[in-house]
Structure 1
Amino acid sequence: MPLPKLIVVLGTTACGKSGLGVELARRFDGEIVSADSRQVYRGLDLGTGKVTQAERMGVAHHMLDVVDPNQSYSVADFQRGAYDAIDAIRARGRTPFLVGGTGLYVRAVTEGFTFTDARPDPALRAQLERRTTAELYALYQARTGKTLAGGEEKNRHRLLRALEKLSAGAVETPPCPRYDCLLLGMTFPRELLCRRIDERLQRRIDDGMIEEVANLRANGARDLFLEGLGLEYRYILWYLTGRIPTLDALQDELGRAIKRFAKRQMVWFKKDRDVLWLDTAVDPLPQAVAATAEFLGRPSQF
């Protein structure tokens, strides 16, 4: 039997994915499943760009605000929740849209990663932590015979976890896709994207993003948790604790970090040749609507 259909809107930060997803969902009687590794946390709103109730325009959103700060949350946890949300949307006779920029979360759903139940081994982790990332990658290659690329060979956390699983006897299994996916990509030329990042950062600071992080700390969010979130939460924490001395320095350092992150996102997404990259030199909505209508076998809703 043919796989059920899923429309995916992916791309770099500050490119308008959320707005496009809402517009598509409104036209195709859809609901949205967020694929963002930080928006799953309650209270992380401005710093993650979580869509407000007004911005949702009546479209139901899922996988937002599902866990409290300080709680661990894995890509396997996300995949289970996303599968449940997508299947429930389909059971209601509606169209599911997966929207987000966390590449690993997107691929876990679109490619159907298979996860093992291997638990972290503190003793083994302590031994592995003493090795450099290059040494971990060499060990991974020796154990699996595989070569990684696109930055994955430098992803220390994933290398550590893979080696833990291999030591526990876990076997890497091939992915098992559950959905037939249309992948719509959003980004802008580098110079324009950088300008959009700077403008969005200024808006978020003006709207109270620094106060959001201060309130999270006051309400029990641990500094280690905030630092581990990266980008806005890490750099604002450093500003609040004096590591970054001025607001100007915060905006400069954080802005550059977000731009580096956007570049890494593009490296990740460009590895998938099935992405239809929308032309953002013009309004991308008509192109996205036409592609979605054709994919679903429905009349265009534009």
Structure 2
Amino acid sequence: MVTHESAKRKLLVLVGPTAVGKTRLSLEIAESFGCEIISGDSMQVYRGMDIGTAKATKDERSRILHHMIDIHDPDYPFSVAEFQDRSRTLIEQISERGRLPFIVGGTGLYIESLCYGFQFSDAGSDEAFREEQLAYLKSKGEQALHDKLRQIDPPTAERLHPNDHRRVIRALEVAHLTGIPMSQHLAGQRKESPYDLCLIGLTMDRQLLYKRIEDRIDQMVEEGLVEEVKGLRLLGYGDDLVSMQGLGYKEITAYLRGELSWEDAIVLLKRNTRRFAKRQLSWFRHMKDIRWVDVSETSNFSKHLLTINDIIAGKLISPTEYTS
């Protein structure tokens, strides 16, 4: 007899803050367990935005099939609803191929909404209200708009960066339409997953993580982040696009426009990325079911991999390379 639980699709998920080391571990895990990787990053969907979003390289993607990368141009308004819809379809297709679907990323709302089947359509929309908020943004600035959200929905304001205009306005719109803050909508969602879920989170000593973030940004600059941003602007992608407001793109754009010195732009980018990592960890800490693995001892990669493999083997499936 097939039980309800056994009928669920298996889903492996690896989350954690930026620069914690998800990519390297995910490739090894995917090879051991016969996975296909679905990117759980809201920015990696955009073509031409490679360095600033820290996409897996072409060589890395040649090792393991990756999905949800390079599927839209930077002027496309990608949404959590589309992420859910596409990912659900991919999970079915990957499972039908006899492979294990593997979500890897750091966009908390996207990943949690997929894992637990959140619904976002009930609030509806109010185009006039959105236009009012856009006008407010242009006249008062992004911080003033963010402060409006903080007044009515502090938890949502805490997890959204002020330059994430689209999601800040959507959160204001939800509260305007329903009278209930988005954070309460999310808290009221059912917390039972439609999947046979194995959630693993990577964590690290905070100061070590911050050092890795700063080193990564220096590496991004060496790899051509400035040239990448210049190229996108030459292609006509405006500074007000959600994609161009992403970490790295916004700060480098401000430098290219003469609004920041080079030194100030890099200092600001490193600060903003550290704050982003803090918000990521805060989000994931509030998710249930995550098995946390501390990867602070970066020289013990094999040990961390073994720990993670044991968690997966105990929850979902034995890896192809396991004999014990």
> The TM-score by the shorter chain falls in which range?
0.7 to 0.9
Give the letter for the 2:168 counterpart. Answer: R
User: Percent of aligned positions with the same letter in both sequences?
Assistant: 37
Does residue 243 of structure 2 align to residue 223 of structure 1?
no
Q: Is the 8 A contact 1:150 1:268 kept in 2?
A: no
Matched-pair contact (CA < 8 Å) for 1:226–1:233: no
Are 2:193 and 1:177 equivalent residues in the alignment? Answer: yes
Map of 1:151 onto structure 2: 158
Deviation string 1:150-177 (CA, Å, 9 cap, x unpaired) is 935997334223135538xxxx684473
Contact 2:238 2:244 in 1 (8 A): no
**By how many angstroms is 1:191 displaced?**
1.1
* Other-structure match for 2:140: none
Amino acid at match of 2:52: G
SS at structure 1 position matched to 2:240: helix
Alignment-derived partner of residue 292 in structure 1: 312
User: For the Cα contact (< 8 Å) 2:126–2:173, is it kept in 1?
Assistant: no
Q: Is the 8 A contact 2:32 2:319 kept in 1?
A: no
User: When the two structures are aligned, how many residues end up with a matched partner?
Assistant: 294
Give yes or no for the alignment of 1:240 onto 2:252.
no
- Aligned partners of 2:52 and 2:202: how far apart in 1? 20
Residue 33 of structure 1 corresponds to 38
Partners of 1:194 and 1:138 in 2: how far apart? 29
Give the superposition deviation at 1:148: 4.9
Q: Does 1:22 align with 2:24?
A: no
Q: Distance in 2 between matches of 1:139 and 1:125?
A: 16
- Deviates most, 174-183 or 202-211: 174-183
Alignment CA distance shift 1:200-1:163 (3 Å): same
2:45 aligned counterpart, secondary structure:
coil
Aligned to 1:261: 276
* Counterpart residue identity of residue 90, structure 2: A
1:227–1:18 distance in 2 versus 1, CA, 3 Å: closer
CA shift at 1:4, angstroms?
1.6
- In structure 2, runs of 5+ residues without a counterpart are 137-143, 162-166, 180-184
Instruction: Look up the match of 2:69.
Output: 64
Q: Where in structure 2 are the equivalents of 1:1-302 lying within 5 Å?
A: 1-2=4-5, 3-116=8-121, 120-126=125-131, 148=155, 151=158, 156-163=168-175, 165-166=177-178, 174-175=189-190, 177-225=193-241, 229-246=245-262, 248-280=263-295, 281=297, 282-283=300-301, 284-298=304-318, 301=321
Conserved in 1, the CA contact under 8 Å of 2:150 and 2:156?
A: no
SS of residue matched to 1:278: strand
Q: CA deviation at 1:93?
A: 0.7
Amino acid at match of 2:103: L
Quote the Cα distance in structure 1 between the aligned partners of 2:271 and 2:122. Answer: 38
The answer to whether the Cα contact below 8 Å between 1:34 and 1:98 also exists between their aligned partners in 2 is yes
Q: Deviations over 1:87-146 (max 9, x none)?
A: 110010100100000001111111111131765322233456769666657667xxxxxx
Q: Deviations over 1:238-264 (max 9, x none)?
A: 011111122x22221111111111111
After TM superposition, give the deviation of residue 226 of structure 1 in Å: 5.9
2:246 and 2:91 mapped to 1: Cα distance? 28
Q: Deviations over 1:46-82 (max 9, x none)?
A: 0000111212352100011111111111100111111
Distance (Å, rounded) in 2 between the aligned partners of 1:191 and 1:84: 39
Contact 1:289–1:301 (Cα < 8 Å) also in 2 = no
Cα RMSD, aligned residues only: 2.9
How far off is 1:189 after superposition?
0.5
**Secondary structure at 1:262's aligned position in 2?**
helix
